[in-house]
Structure formats: structure tokens, C-alpha cells
């Protein structure tokens, strides 16, 4: 697949959950396109490895828990002392265990929602004011088809991603009179480590719902995110972009 290169020169992007999977591939494409990239991730070992492997002077990282607003705000303030934040990719997320709602551990349920929904809110809450000040920004919230359809035995994940979709529509409308685009992407299952958190039965059930008969390739996802994050996206905002191989049709 031919990769289109966008012009992200002099743009600074924060990618949450950027140490692996979708986030890491987005970081790679952003760097090739000239961006300064900051990875926010809780996994310091994976983050250190990513930074070392990519070996790019325009790449840096912070260990941060996106569900903790104080951490997010303090880190944002430090970054803004040196540069603007032009692009925000809210990619951090966890699936949580596979369980029926009435058997779901309450504290784990809250944790899944906190990371997937409150993490997205926290990052937007801290970073958007600077985007407003500069009248420029591109925000992409990584949701899921689970947020549209609701996956059985994944209520916390489905709720968190549905909330991220609602947040996207609301915030996009609030910022529509500015040069700030806020969009969500809703991938189906993809070949990332997140599949390792699920049972084989759950993974097979996901795959059976995809008309194309395969999982999403990471590079395909990154291509969509890059366009939404670029200056070429001058009109789309408060929207949900499906990339599910035909699973979702709305």
C-alpha cells in the first residue's frame, strides 16, 4: 500500500498510548511527515523501547496516566512553555476483561471507563484552551465500533468508547467556529496487542462480524488518522469516521 506523506512540519503532536499498536504507527508516520511527536504512555518500558528504536530527535515521551487530570494538566503546562500543541490523538485505551455486566468487577469497570472516556476528556480539557488561543488544532479521538454497536461481554469498553463518540460530537460543535477539527474514528478489530487481552472466542466473534473477512491493518488506520490530523481536513468536524471493513453501516 502506497503511503501518502502529509506536511506536519513545525507541528507538535501528542499521541496518548503511543508506545505500541495504533499509536506507535501514527507516531512513525507523523515523524516522517515532519512533526514533533510526544508520546504519552503508562508503559515506560515500551515507551523507552519505542523512543530508542525510532531514534528521532523530534520524538520525546512522558510517562503519564491520562485518567489523572492533574498529571495531564501539569504535563501540558510544561510542554506549552516550550511549544504549542497542534495535534492531539487520544488513542490510549484498554479493553478490560470479558465478562457479563452483572458479573463485572465494579472497580475494574470504573477503570476501563476512566481510561477510555475520562482520559479523552482530560486531555481535551487541558489542551483545547491553547488550541483556541492559537486558532488551530486537530483532535482525533480513537473510539471503536463497540461504541456504536455495543459488544456483548464488553460493557465497560463499549460504554467508554460510546462516550468518546458523544464527546467528539459535542466538542466539535463547540469549536466549529474556529480552525479546530475534532473527529472520532471507529475501527473494528485490528492486528494489535489489544487482541491479546481478549479470549480466542471473543476475537473470533469479532472477526465473524466483518464482511471483509479480516482484521484491520494498522497502516490502514494510520492513513485515515493522518488525513484527519492534517491541514487538508478543512471542513470535517464533530464527525465519526468508520473503518470497520463493512461491519458498521451508519
User: By the 8 A CB rule, do 27 and 41 touch?
Assistant: no
Phi and psi of 150, rounded to 5°?
A: 75, 110
Active-site residue, from 6, 104, 136, 157: 157
Decide if 157 is catalytic.
Answer: yes
CA–CA distance from 170 to each of 21, 74, 150 (Å)?
A: 27, 25, 20
What's the rounded Cα separation, in Å, for the pair 54 and 52?
A: 6
Strand order in the sheet with 59-63: 59-63, 36-41, 12-16, 87-90, 137-142, 180-187, 239-243
CA–CA distance from 240 to each of 93, 172, 213 (Å)?
A: 18, 11, 22
DSSP 29-88: HHHHTT-EEEEEES-HHHHHHHHHHH--TTEEEEE--TT-HHHHHHHHHHHHTT----EE
CA 32 to chain CA centroid, Å, is 19
Phi and psi of 113, rounded to 5°?
A: -65, -40
What's the rounded Cα separation, in Å, for the pair 191 and 115?
A: 21
CA–CA distance from 166 to each of 60, 83, 182, 199, 214 (Å)?
A: 31, 30, 11, 28, 28
Write out the catalytic residue numbers. Answer: 157
Amino acid at each position: 500500500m502506497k503511503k501518502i506523506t502529509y506536511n506536519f512540519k513545525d507541528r507538535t503532536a501528542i499521541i496518548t498510548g503511543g508506545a505500541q499498536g495504533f499509536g506507535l504507527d501514527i507516531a512513525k508516520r507523523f515523524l516522517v511527515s515532519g512533526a514533533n511527536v510526544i508520546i504519552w504512555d503508562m508503559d515506560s518500558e515500551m515507551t523507552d523501547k519505542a523512543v530508542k528504536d525510532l531514534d528521532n530527535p523530534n520524538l520525546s515521551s512522558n510517562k503519564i496516566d491520562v485518567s489523572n487530570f492533574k498529571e495531564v494538566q501539569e504535563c501540558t503546562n510544561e510542554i506549552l512553555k516550550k511549544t504549542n500543541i497542534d495535534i492531539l490523538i487520544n488513542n490510549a485505551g484498554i479493553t478490560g476483561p470479558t465478562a457479563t455486566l452483572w458479573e463485572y468487577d465494579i472497580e475494574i469497570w470504573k477503570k476501563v471507563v476512566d481510561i477510555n472516556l475520562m482520559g479523552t476528556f482530560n486531555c481535551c480539557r487541558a489542551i483545547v484552551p491553547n488550541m483556541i488561543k492559537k486558532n488551530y488544532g486537530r483532535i482525533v479521538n480513537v473510539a471503536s465500533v463497540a461504541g456504536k454497536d455495543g459488544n456483548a461481554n464488553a460493557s465497560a469498553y463499549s460504554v467508554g468508547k460510546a462516550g468518546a463518540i458523544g464527546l467528539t460530537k459535542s466538542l466539535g460543535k463547540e469549536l466549529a467556529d474556529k480552525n479546530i477539527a475534532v473527529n472520532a474514528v471507529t475501527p473494528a478489530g485490528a492486528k494489535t496487542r489489544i487482541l491479546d487481552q481478549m479470549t480466542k472466542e471473543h476475537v473470533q466473534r469479532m472477526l465473524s462480524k466483518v464482511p471483509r473477512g479480516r482484521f484491520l491493518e494498522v497502516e490502514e488506520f494510520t492513513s485515515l488518522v493522518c488525513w484527519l490530523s492534517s491541514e487538508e481536513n478543512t471542513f470535517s468536524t464533530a464527525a465519526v469516521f468508520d473503518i470497520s471493513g463493512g461491519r458498521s453501516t451508519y
